[in-house]
């Protein structure tokens, strides 16, 4: 069975390497791009090139930045005394959408995972320690993912920093609107151990 012209096959192959994109979806996207106006296809290609050329990591927090510092580290209105620690730059986006956090961030670049060969030296834990040791940090909020590796990373960082500053962890448990019958045991256990007083 023919895969079509070589350029179309190549585009399909490249698109199928994207996370969550299987071969059939990649093929649909490739045909969509083929049918698009030339200007739309060029805009897509230019956006991909531009993001690779212009977006790097912030020199302070390692969030995504267009230039040496990200927009959050450049914002003088943010509270420099509170640092929220996340695993990846993508984790900053949902936290910012809440409009609840007005401090700064620190992006680790992953989570500790000895089975995958990821240890402290592979993450930006030393840089976090330097930020805390420089002084002026009242609280470090650990917002790593509620996974085995995320929990281990949070515990490791807490052990390193708790003698120097207040260390907190994002609350975890039942999402608002969830039914108990649909919650798994780990989530219910977290909700039970993290229960709050209503007085």
Confidence of residue 198 (pLDDT cuts 50, 70, 90): low
Q: Is the pLDDT of residue 173 over 80?
A: no
Q: Could you tell me the domains of the chain?
A: 6-54 (1.10.8.420), 77-169 (3.40.1360.10)
Residue 190 above 80 pLDDT?
Answer: no
User: Residues 5-43: pLDDT tens digits?
Assistant: 899 999 999 999 999 999 999 999 999 999 999 999 999
Quick one: average pLDDT of 124-136? 97
- pLDDT of 184 > 90? The answer is no
Q: What's the residue count for the chain?
A: 199
Secondary structure (DSSP) of 55-114: -EE-TTT--EESSSS-HHHH-TTSEEEEEEEESSGGGHHHHHHTT---EEEEE-SS--BG
pLDDT at 69 > cutoff 90: yes
Position 3 pLDDT exceeds 90: no
Report d(CA 193, CA 199) in Å as an integer: 18
pLDDT at 90 exceeding the cut of 80: yes
């Amino acid at each position: 069975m023919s895969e079509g012209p070589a350029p179309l096959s190549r585009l399909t192959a490249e698109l199928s390497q994207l996370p969550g994109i299987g071969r059939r979806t990649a093929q649909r996207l490739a045909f969509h791009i083929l049918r698009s106006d030339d200007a739309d296809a060029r805009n897509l290609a230019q956006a991909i090139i531009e993001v690779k050329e212009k977006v790097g990591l912030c020199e302070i927090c390692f969030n995504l930045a267009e230039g040496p510092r990200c927009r959050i580290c450049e914002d003088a209105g943010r509270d420099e005394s509170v640092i929220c620690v996340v695993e990846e730059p993508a984790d900053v986006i949902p936290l910012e959408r809440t409009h609840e956090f007005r401090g700064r961030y620190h992006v680790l670049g992953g989570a500790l995972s000895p089975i995958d060969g990821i240890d402290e030296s592979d993450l930006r834990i030393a840089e976090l320690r330097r930020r805390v040791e420089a002084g002026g940090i009242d609280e470090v909020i650990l917002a790593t993912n509620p996974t085995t590796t995320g929990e281990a990373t949070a515990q490791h960082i807490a052990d390193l920093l708790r003698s120097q500053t207040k260390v907190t962890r994002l609350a975890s448990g039942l999402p608002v609107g969830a039914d108990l019958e649909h919650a798994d045991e780990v989530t219910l256990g977290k909700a039970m151990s993290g229960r709050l007083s209503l007085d």
